[in-house]
Structure 1
Amino acid sequence: MTKQMKKDPLDKKEPENTLLAHETYGKAVWRRFCRHRLALISLAALGIICGAAVFAPVIAPYDPEAIAGPFGAAPSREFLLGTDQIGRDMASRLLYATRTSLMAGVLATLIATAIGVFLGLAAGYFGGVTDILIMRFTDMVMSFPYILLVLVAAAIFKPGLWSIILILGFVDWPGIARLVRGNVLSLRETNFVKSSMAAGMPARHILFSEILPNTMAPVLVYATSVMALTMLDEAALSFLGMGVQPPAASLGNMLNSAQSITVLTKQPWLWIPPGLVIILVVTAVNFVGDALRDAFDPLSVIKM
């Protein structure tokens, strides 16, 4: 007489484990990202802010550079966020300012990432004199005080949005270059890269088809911190009068009007909305970056 074997309660997890075993890498990353509720909230907030910025010409009730009402009017039904000292609608200017600051942050980050990835790939893969020259130049750029380098560059070139984008893009790349170089040095010793080298594959194919896709995850995570820093730098330069110039609106030059005690105490609608937008966007980008770091971390697969 055979005894009926009891079913192991752990067997109930087999379907879930099987499902996870056949899960694609993208779905696994998204599943781990969704565990961060603050990141999901931040992503939704960024989506709303970016949508409002993109459709600013449609949403804005007034021309952001035109005088639309009385000077320094308090918030009302006609002017939801009031007007500034010369009668421009603050709600319209806030929408366009967010658009300008986001564009500066995104484009400067793309420029810095492209430069850093290219130099990091070249230094890590070719090594030798190429590596020495690129990394010594990178060390030289990083040896200068960051804010001083940005201020000097902004003082030399004509103030404006594109000047700020180019300056920040050409200053923020060293960290990305060092990160990519380290990853390339590690990937160059892997079997699939060595086999491609032995097969006589061109360096272009190895770099952009095999090494680059395997180093984009840390680059993407690092780029979020660069974007947050770039937006803060753009706001700081515009606040100091070295960035986006009036009458064009940016979050930094909107805060420039809040330098007097009278504005700070009696006209808070001139500085609280742009200040809150800067805080919200930078905080949301940092939360998304933290979640991406955990989602792309290979060890998190084991832990979970």
Structure 2
Amino acid sequence: MKAVAEKSWEPNTGWHSFTYDELHKATKGFGKEMLLGSGGFGQVYLGKLPNSNVQVAVKKLSKGSEQGSPEFELEVSTLSSLRHRNVVQLLGYCKENGDLLIVYEYMKHGSLDKHLFKEDQTILSWEKRFKIIKGVASGLLYLHEELEQVIIHRDIKPGNILLDSEFQGKLGDFGLAMQYKRSSDEGILIPTLGIVGTPGYWAPESVSQRIYSAFSDVYAYGVLLIVVLCGKKPNWQALLEELTLVDWVKDKCKEGLNLDVMDPNLKGEFDHRQARLVLKLGLRCLKDDPKTRPTMREVTRVLDDGLFGTQSAVW
């Protein structure tokens, strides 16, 4: 007998509600051979929708996980309103008898962190890295400036950047996202009760004052740029005699942009002009004062044009 789906909550109309049985069948009973990845939230499985050849990714939240029902509902309701080539597409969801599942488009090449940090992966070329960071910038611009409400992602990191068959970077995992009404004050700061997201990608104001804004996303994006350039994790738990990755790069660039920080796995095979541009851009995104960081519109303009503008004091 099929479990009865919960009806106490529904996202925006028009979104497909799968049954647990449908997704159980699609993932071969959530079999180990279908597992794509796992984390504190639960597991992600490869699935094939019944009566079709469409491959999907099914996130099955662990019962009792920190990312429980409120975050599930937030992610589904947020993604259901988004349509952008650099945001992972929601295909449906399931909420039955305590089981929480989200169905996304399948991303063939998985998450960015696997390509940067796992030794058994082919080294990600500079061309692909540059394409990915441009795509992420475009997705963040869409969230920050092109919707009726501003959406702050609040967990920008390689593990939440997913790559399709063409290595197009797409933003995923919106379980920590915040929305607020657009204001003439682009620097609006939202106070919260605690810090969320991932250590190493936290903006200074989020740590010291528990506040978030579009500019805290910009800071995390700056960390992402440094990580992609260096091929190293943020090293946020550095010992007293060590430097975090961000501080190490800042130290290396005290007297000018220093391409010695580049990922040695690239073996010098990268566009030096683009690398300097991305390094300079990353450092600008990492300014301590949020109002001195660039907006994502300025970031995308720099990446598209290959030049730093002269009209904004940020540059």
How would you bin the TM-score normalised by the shorter chain?
Answer: under 0.3
Bigger share in helix = 1
Bigger share in strand = 2
Normalization by structure 2: what TM-score? Answer: 0.24
Work out which structure has the larger RCO, using CA pairs closer than 8 Å and 6 or more positions apart in sequence.
Answer: 1
